[in-house]
Amino acid sequence: AQRVTQPEKLLSVFKGAPVELKCNYSYSGSPELFWYVQYSRQRLQLLLRHISRESIKGFTADLNKGETSFHLKKPFAQEEDSAMYYCALGGYEKLTFGTGTRLTIIP
Amino acid sequence: GAVVSQHPSRVICKSGTSVKIECRSLDFQATTMFWYRQFPKQSLMLMATSNEGSKATYEQGVEKDKFLINHASLTLSTLTVTSAHPEDSSFYICSAGTSVRYEQYFGPGTRLTVT
């Protein structure tokens, strides 16, 4: 079975401060990990995937197989980063989502 | 590009009736479409995976006779909630997959309320 855990339901960060959204996973095979973002009144959209090793909107995430983690980080938070963030695991030809973290950036 | 639409965005129906939700990939062909259900303040739960021209694969615990899925073309999949009950009230989201493994584009969702 595959499982994704996002321990923080809510996270508030001051503008300009660093952001870290935690994600841990459980999967017996070789996982593919993703971060999705949902801005207010918008649909879910892909933010980044671990195999791309890219930075999107200043966000990065590194897959740590030893700790089974895929935490999302940004060094300096911006107000437009306020949104719902979901970590997802690709395995057995489907995506399994975590429960999400609502990130609020305080001006 | 890669836009997925859902119709209707909101629907209210009476208990015992059926309601159909459409999911369309507008500018690409999707061999695989996915249907999710999201309860308030909870995660997306995969209900079923549908491949064009074949029967849908349902996740454990999802009643296939209640949630009928049809994927008749590469751009259209439908979810029909049959004999709806108040406990079926939820937010239903579809996504369309591409040839890139695990790449999915999501629709805006449909809010179903059963009275």
Residues of chain A positioned with their CB less than 8 A from the CB of B46: 94-96
**Exposure class string for A51-76: b at 16+ Cβ within 10 A, else e:** eeeeeeeebebebeeeebbbbbebee
- pLDDT tens across A83-107, in order? 999 999 998 889 999 999 999 999 9
Residues 6+ apart with CB under 8 A from A65: none
- pLDDT tens across A15-46, in order? 999 999 999 999 988 889 999 999 998 999 99
User: Average pLDDT of chain A?
Assistant: 93
**Region class of B29: left (phi > 0), else alpha (psi between -120 and 50), else beta:** beta
Residues 6+ apart with CB under 8 A from A57: A47, A74, A81
- The pLDDT assigned to B99 comes to 82
Strands A72-74 and A24-26, sheet pairing: unpaired
Min Cα separation A95/chain B (Å) = 7
Min Cα separation B30/chain A (Å) = 15
pLDDT category of residue B1 using cuts at 50, 70 and 90? low
Strands A94-97 and A101-106, sheet pairing: unpaired
pLDDT at position A56 over 90: no
- The pLDDT assigned to B32 comes to 92
* CB contact (8 A) between residue A99 and residue B42: yes
* CB contact (8 A) between residue A44 and residue B106: yes
Number of Cβ pairs < 8 A linking chain A and chain B: 38
- The pLDDT assigned to A55 comes to 83
Q: Is B28 on the interface with A (CB under 8 A)?
A: no
Q: Is B60 on the interface with A (CB under 8 A)?
A: no
Q: Is B14 on the interface with A (CB under 8 A)?
A: no
Give CA angle at A105 (A104, A106), nearest 5°: 115
Q: Which two tokens stand for residue A13?
A: 């960060």
- pLDDT tens across B79-92, in order? 999 999 999 999 99
- pLDDT tens across B48-73, in order? 999 888 889 999 999 999 999 998 88
What are the φ/ψ torsions at residue A54 (nearest 5 degrees)?
-115, 170
